[in-house]
Amino acid sequence: MAGRVEGKVALVTGAARGQGRSHALRLAQEGADIIAVDLAGQIDSVPYAMSTPADLDETVRQVEALDRRIVARQADVRDFSALSTAVDEGVAELGGLDIVSANAGIFSFGTLDALTDEEWNDMIAVNLTGVWHTVKSAIPHLRANGGGSVILTSSTAGLLAIENIGHYVSAKHGVVGLMKTAALELARDGIRVNSVHPTSVDTDMIQNAATYALFAPDLPPDERTKDVLAPRFQAMNVLPVPWVEPVDISNAVLWLASDEARYVTGLELKVDAGQTLK
């Protein structure tokens, strides 16, 4: 049986690890070739170690192990020129563009009165402007293709107010507005645009000392372990899980990318273990 996205080309940003790598692999498993883009570097305001060139190389290795083609580029989604060059090169090598997963994102913390300008500006630049840059860089190629599917990674924080991450909430709410506007503007071109809204996902973005400190300020650092923190994460969800796995989000991305969702556009697809019901 042919894969659900057989013969298609997918752009994935933030592809070096975490959800991005998972999305690239899941789409490749179902027949897509991949344009993988990642900063593969550190942003000073981010309180955990970000991905590296070695991580991006590992994504390449895993996609190639599935016998799919992949073009990988280091580029910053904040830099439209660099990003669009990476996308153009990938399209030129792989022959087109059908699917876009605008996944690249960062996370940091602080109450609104304590956030620095750097923390606010970096968050908006990566998590909102970077998503717009990704869509903008892809539109000419999707139009030339006669249509396609664009999936923007938002969050439950794109639908809820959450303390201590007001800059993240603002950016992720902005992604919803971007998604809905793009869905309207691009429908005539046969381009569908949707967003996915995960609860906490078991990746390095939450499994780090800085996030653990936010969730457990009452505990000494040496007691802030994944197992100890799990019940506190689980308290945010309705289903009895502390977090979902990257592949759970990848399966949603795959469905939205596939012809099974051919008439789905403008949708906020929650993969949230019921968090938004609270």
- pLDDT per position as a tens digit, 147-164: 999 999 999 999 999 999
Q: Is 168 a catalytic residue?
A: yes
Decide if pLDDT at 139 tops 90: yes
Four-CA torsion 148, 153, 157, 158, nearest 10 degrees: -20
35 to 14, 114, 223, 264: CA distances (angstroms): 11, 38, 40, 24
**pLDDT at position 167, please?**
98
The whole-chain average pLDDT of the chain stands at 98
Average pLDDT for 135-157:
98
Per-residue pLDDT at 85: 98
* Percent of the chain whose predicted confidence (pLDDT) is above 90: 99
pLDDT digits (tens, 9 = 90+) for 90-124: 999 999 999 999 999 999 999 999 999 999 999 99
Q: Select which of 48, 168, 212, 263 is catalytic.
A: 168
Query: How confident is the model over 257-261, as a mean pLDDT?
Result: 98
* pTM higher than the cut 0.75: yes
pLDDT digits (tens, 9 = 90+) for 54-77: 999 999 999 999 999 999 999 999
List pLDDT tens digits, range 184-198. Answer: 999 999 999 999 999
pLDDT in the model for residue 274: 98
Whole-number pLDDT of residue 46: 98
Question: How far is C-alpha 17 from the chain's CA centre?
Answer: 11
Work out the average pLDDT over 124-143: 98
Please work out, in degrees rounded to the nearest 5, the angle formed at the alpha carbon of residue 18 by the alpha carbons of 118 and 213: 55
What pLDDT was estimated at residue 1? 52
> Binning pLDDT at 50, 70 and 90, where does residue 176 land?
very high
pLDDT above 70 as % of the chain: 99
Flag whether pLDDT at 2 surpasses 90: no
